[in-house]
Structure 1
Amino acid sequence: MLDISLLFKIGAFGILLMILEKVLKASGKDEIAMIANITGIVIILTMVIRLISQLFSSVRTMFTI
């Protein structure tokens, strides 16, 4: 079953990343903003991969006799 709070966490994390990027770019630290974006994308992708893994395992148990 999909936990709706995980979707809210992903959305909130994305919003925080956008705010952090804007603040860092405004202060002239473009390289750190890019590193923060890449790190955030990796963290969000691990959350999504975990969800996909749970989906595949539930489908596998559904079709296993």
Structure 2
Amino acid sequence: MLDVTLLFRIAAVGILTIIIDKILKSSGKDDFAVVTNIAGIVILLLMVINLISKLFDAVKTMFQL
């Protein structure tokens, strides 16, 4: 079952990334803003990959004889 706290974590990472991006862009550090965006995307992808791995393990145990 999907845990609600995981959705809140994903949303928190997205909001935090947006806030840091806006702060860095307003201070003229666009390069660091891009790096921050990439880091946020990587963190979110790792969270989703973990979920997909758990899904495949569940399907594997369901069809195992």
Check whether TM > 0.5: yes
- Match of residue 59 from structure 2: 59
Same amino acid, percent of matched pairs: 60
Q: CA deviation at 1:7?
A: 1.1
* Residues in 1 aligned to 2:8 and 2:55: alpha-carbon distance in whole angstroms: 18
- Match of residue 20 from structure 1: 20
Unaligned runs of 5+ in 2: none
* Residues in 2 aligned to 1:48 and 1:11: alpha-carbon distance in whole angstroms: 13
The CA RMSD over aligned residues, in Å, is 0.7
Unaligned runs of 5+ in 1: none
Given the two structures, how large is their TM-score scaled by the length of structure 2?
A: 0.94
The runs of at least 4 consecutive aligned structure 1 residues that moved more than 6 Å come to none
What's the CA shift string for 1:16-60, capped at 9, x where partnerless?
Answer: 101110110000000000001101110110000000000000011
